[in-house]
A = this chain, B = another copy of it.
Amino acid sequence: MSLTDEQQGEIFEARKQAASTKRPTVPALETILYEAIPVLDHGFIRVVDYMGDDASVVQAARVSYGRGTKKVQEDRGLINYLMRHHHTTPFEMAEIKLHVKLPIFVARQWVRHRTANINEYSARYSILDKEFYIPAAEHLAAQSNVNRQGRGTVLEGEEAAAVLGLLKQDAEVAYKHYLEMLNQDEDGQTLRDDRSGLARELARMDLSLNFYTQWYWKIDLHNLMGFLRLRADAHAQLEIRAYADKMLDILKAWVPISYDAFVEHRLNSVTLSATAIQVVKDALSGKTVSQKQSKLSQREWAELVSVFGVLNGEFHD
């Protein structure tokens, strides 16, 4: 992450402002407000604004005239109850706004979550910075042999070097040609007076998908947890997970009780199918169970074993 002096100055000014408010306020979030939390090699997440806190969830659930909260323990119980029973509307009553800098291929996954508001930096209107994502060596993985859409072992030696070389070189060349087509240098000066410069909306198509873009992104607490459930998951691509991991920290600072309920009932929960329930019931009652008899697929069986482990020898295939 490399902020310009001007950008750091703007953040500094924003962080200085202070006003008195009657609104719910979260000191832990105020502490990091506007600050850029680094992600990947050039990306960041900044909390730019927020609305509500854990008490806002309780307040909405009770449709109360005041804050609606009672004892901490009661509030915690209510939030857990709402989470467990998918009473999602009270969690929609808190909102957060982030400024995110992220590679375009990550942005393309991100927008699949449609229940959010986005304002993206326009490359029709402005010129993109020379910033592109190059994976750290330890993240440069081979295609997985078992998962059609995942990574396997880390690339090593000459192959890793070759890949890194190509990624860097191609992005460098792309950016060089981008400016050349725009007919300007890195300082925005015209390169050749006998040229007009290609329209920005066209020139950008030469850039590769690892270039960084940025946007303002606003989402309510319920949908944020929906995002994190999928993107902080082991099946998510490592690069978007890097953002989701930082957002988990933000979630914890913002709404610690909802965070706990989310971890307990979503992130670390497991859903058993009707057939899997029967397998576990049989195992619990001492019956011998096996994949073949269970009607579970091999993959489902493997997932069940990964959750509950081996038991008395009967749980094996």
Interface string of A43-79 (1 = CB under 8 A from B): 0001011111000100111011111000000000100
Closest to A107 in B: B108
Are B49 and A24 touching (Cβ within 8 A)?
yes
Are A170 and B174 touching (Cβ within 8 A)?
yes
> Could you list 18 further interchain pairs (A-B, Cβ under 8 angstroms) beyond the known A9-B66, A80-B297, A104-B108?
A59-B216, A60-B119, A84-B273, A93-B218, A105-B205, A143-B200, A159-B195, A163-B198, A170-B177, A170-B206, A171-B206, A269-B277, A271-B272, A277-B307, A280-B284, A281-B309, A283-B284, A286-B312
Chain A interface (Cβ < 8 Å from any Cβ of B):
3, 6-7, 9-11, 13-15, 17-25, 30, 33-34, 46, 48-52, 56, 59-61, 63-67, 77, 80, 84-86, 89-90, 92-93, 95, 97, 99, 103-105, 107-108, 111-112, 114-115, 117-122, 124-125, 133, 135, 140-144, 148-153, 155, 159, 162-163, 166-167, 170-171, 173-174, 177, 180-183, 194-202, 204-210, 214-216, 218, 220, 230, 235, 237, 263-265, 268-277, 280-281, 283-286, 297, 300, 307-309, 311-312, 315
